[in-house]
Amino acid sequence: MTRFLSLPNALVLAFFTLFIAMTPVAAQSVDINSTIITTLEAIGAAASDVALEGGASEEEAALAASDAISTIVADTFGDRDAKIFNTLLFLIGGFLVMWMAAGFTMLETGLVRKKNVSMQALKNIALYSIAGLMFWLVGYNVMYGGEAGGFIGTFSPVNFPAVGADTADDGYSVASDWFFQMAFVAATASIVSGAVAERVKLWAFLAFTIVLTGVLYPITGMWQWGGGWLAEIGFTDFAGSTLVHSVGGWAALAGVIFIGAREGKYGANGAVTPMPGSSIPLATLGMFILWMGWFGFNGASQLAMGTIADVGDISRIFANTNLSAASGAITAMILVQLIYKKVDVTMVINGALAGLVSITAEPLAPSVLQTLFIGGVGGAIVVFTIPLLDKLKLDDVVGAIPVHLLAGIWGTMITPLSGSGTFATQAIGVIAIGAFTFVASSIVWLILKATIGIRVSKEAEALGLDKSEVGVEAYPEF
């Protein structure tokens, strides 16, 4: 125990020095460095002594020392780059998904009438702010603080690691994961915002948002991503066709049912009055923002970027996400040309979005042909169901229900095509999450209706919510 040991020791330490040397504060490193070197030498010596006492040869003792040291080094420093990459993935994915809040805002301000544009802007700023607050206060721990196979986590605020206190123990920084997941919750509330536009009361909508982002979404989220009972039975939803989009869609559907259609939208004998949006370029911008943000939404849902396999998979996800959106847009475009002889750009916008929602349940496994099929059907769903909703007198202002609920269900049910989940597990997940969200949302909407009211007066609606609720016209000089 000495001569031979010293060699691996020296080399592992050389190796280890390299990692230490990467810390930016050189002076500080030296102290830490020498402390750890001393510690490692002690560990190596101890391991070697144990081996020798156990009758090992000098060579075997040296090996034992080396193994002990290398294990420590790997445990302590081996995950460094991987954790940085993983956390960076959440941060980049997070700001891209946060950016989707702007996308929903532009989409919705573009698709509502001029007199309700400021209200739509306000609702989206407010819901994104509330989502952030609620998902810190209770949401994150309701979703991720539960036990395996369970139904709900704990109602408690998140504790972020203290300054400088992150270690390699988890694969990523909790604060980065919180940020990324928080942006998802906000997307769910945005979906509701679009559907009930142009007649919902501001504070009723915000009250609903508080419950949705703090409790409802986190509960069903817990069932799957929180490791709950759906995860145990084998349900799969990679980035949230069901957990995010359908949940938003179900909450929106309940809202649309209980709030009723806009004044004048549906006349006698099935007459439908078109109420075209105020700005197509803003709606288009919103779609592009959402498309861009979806690379974060789906890509960072890989949850890890510290290996070549992971970053390769993220690349696959980027490609599939893009191709599914393209397929949805092109399919919608061809269908509206065939059916209506003109190409309604709002259908193409929603076709692209439906393509994105459809691939979200499984953006990694499908081949390109499968992806094109999945996204294309999503686009077709939009073209065929938007008129259907009008037949049912469900007044969904921006097409949120076809895009997020129906394409979300489609995307979730088709994952077995590429080998993820079974039709049975997927159906159970879709139904369970749908039933819970629809019933719970309905209860919340009904309570709000019975108390503060969820709909503005007829006069206020005719005047426009910008004047009645916001006090600021969106385009005062136009």
- Which residue in 48, 66, 242, 412 binds a second copy (CB under 8 A)? 66
DSSP letter for each residue of 96-113: HHHHHHHHHHHHHHHHS-
- Token code pair at residue 382: 């939009």
Q: Which is nearer to a second copy, 73 or 389 (CB)?
A: 73
The reply to whether 338 sits near a second copy by the rule CB under 8 A is: no
Smallest distance, a second copy to C-beta of residue 89, A:
9
Q: Which residues in the 254-313 window bind a second copy by CB under 8 A? A: 276-285, 287-289, 291-292, 295, 299, 303-313
DSSP letter for each residue of 455-466: B--HHHHHH-HI
The reply to whether 421 sits near a second copy by the rule CB under 8 A is: no
- Which residue in 36, 152, 182, 382 binds a second copy (CB under 8 A)? 182
The reply to whether 416 sits near a second copy by the rule CB under 8 A is: no
Q: Which residues in the 201-240 window bind a second copy by CB under 8 A? A: 202-203
Question: How many CA within 13 A on the CB side of residue 295?
Answer: 14
CA distance 382 to 335: 10
Q: Which is nearer to a second copy, 29 or 422 (CB)?
A: 29
- Residue 294's nearest CA partner among 324, 271, 251 is 324
* Interaxial angle between packed helices 202-211 and 174-195, expressed in degrees from 0 to 180 and rounded to the nearest 10: 140
- Cα 284 vs. chain centroid, distance in angstroms? 21
Smallest distance, a second copy to C-beta of residue 410, A:
19
The reply to whether 30 sits near a second copy by the rule CB under 8 A is: no
**DSSP letter assigned to residue 200:** B
- Choose the binding region for a second copy from 103-111, 145-153, 232-240, 400-408 (rule: CB under 8 A): 103-111
Smallest distance, a second copy to C-beta of residue 374, A:
14
Enumerate the β-bridge partners of residue 455: 200
- Choose the binding region for a second copy from 171-179, 229-237, 406-414, 450-458 (rule: CB under 8 A): 171-179
For the chain, give me the number of helices (H) and strands (E)? 20, 0
The reply to whether 446 sits near a second copy by the rule CB under 8 A is: no
Q: Which is nearer to a second copy, 382 or 430 (CB)?
A: 382
The reply to whether 315 sits near a second copy by the rule CB under 8 A is: yes
Q: Which is nearer to a second copy, 112 or 243 (CB)?
A: 112
DSSP letter for each residue of 4-27: HHHHHHHHHHHHHHHHHTTSS-HH
In 3-state terms, what secondary structure has residue 292?
helix
Q: Which residues in the 363-392 window bind a second copy by CB under 8 A? A: 364-365, 368, 372
Q: Name every residue whose Cβ is closer than 8 Å to that of residue 69 and which is 6 or more positions away in sequence.
A: 8, 9, 12, 40, 43, 44, 47
Q: Name every residue whose Cβ is closer than 8 Å to that of residue 218 and which is 6 or more positions away in sequence.
A: 135, 138, 139, 140, 142, 143, 153, 185, 226
The reply to whether 34 sits near a second copy by the rule CB under 8 A is: no
- Choose the binding region for a second copy from 3-11, 217-225, 257-265, 383-391 (rule: CB under 8 A): 3-11
- Which residue in 40, 52, 62, 142 binds a second copy (CB under 8 A)? 62
The reply to whether 450 sits near a second copy by the rule CB under 8 A is: no
CA distance 117 to 473: 8
- Choose the binding region for a second copy from 172-180, 191-199, 386-394, 429-437 (rule: CB under 8 A): 172-180
Q: Which is nearer to a second copy, 151 or 318 (CB)?
A: 318
Smallest distance, a second copy to C-beta of residue 452, A:
13
- Which residue in 133, 233, 417, 447 binds a second copy (CB under 8 A)? 133
- Which residue in 246, 346, 370, 412 binds a second copy (CB under 8 A)? 346
Smallest distance, a second copy to C-beta of residue 201, A:
11
- Residue 184's nearest CA partner among 220, 234, 208 is 220
Contact 461, 263 (CB under 8 A): yes
Contact 247, 220 (CB under 8 A): yes
Smallest distance, a second copy to C-beta of residue 332, A:
10
Size of the site for a second copy (CB under 8 A): 160
